Structure 1
């Protein structure tokens, strides 16, 4: 539910989640379009092509309906664009979940200000809190991998000073340990 001011403008959102959306190849033209809307919709496919944004590319919208150009640039990086659509969608959902936690449980903290303490609080809520979702280890590992990749990208581009996901160096597993011996946990 939205809160409206005296002027009728939306001023607050009671659903504090980041939303995952996907670019569309074509935009529908409303039956009663505003001036210039039909031309905008007609030019959309060309703009996508010129900008290098492929239809189906995920993007995130903040709880206050904001679009962060820098944050969403992550989904346009070459290795992300080369990933399968399901991988892109999964990364977008996992990053959105962490950002939603920052927004709702950490006093609307910006992704640029996230700390290790925020990540540890997210871990406790996701895995151990009786009121949290209590996700399985494999689910947590996948979520952390997505958030870690996003923040490593942001650090490389100078958008954040440090990655809130603790970076742990692991000893290699002994000979014959197989893949299970080399498993990485973020707990």
Structure 2
């Protein structure tokens, strides 16, 4: 049994760090969300920030946007030219995607500053992409309402998860692999 732990140590270490960091980050996020009164449809601060930044992005594209709190659930309603188009709920803020991203990077951590720098870079990329995603999804739903389910359920999740996967590939191939090659030289 001991030889299996020795043989598979790198994998088990990766898995352990990934799971522990993922669980810790999820618990911290849930504690954060617990501060908001869901029964009174109170939206968490980060989701509100994402909604306001999405409004700004859509305004840059010359759309007349209004945001207002939903009266039926904890969300922000996006209205374009007087028409209610979408709701931005907690799940739209991409925090769960960010947590998944960070847990993976931490599991392959190579030095504090390098890891921290890449985590900050990746979180910014994910956040900006998410704002653009919400804006384009809103426009897509407005112009092509018949494709709402495909846009929301397939196209845009594929883009955001694909980006996270691409960032992981960059981390592993450019930073981790280069460190391994440099340490062997």
| TM-score in terms of structure 1 length | 0.27
Identify the structure with bigger relative contact order (alpha carbons < 8 Å, sequence gap 6+): 2
> Which is helix-richer, 1 or 2?
2
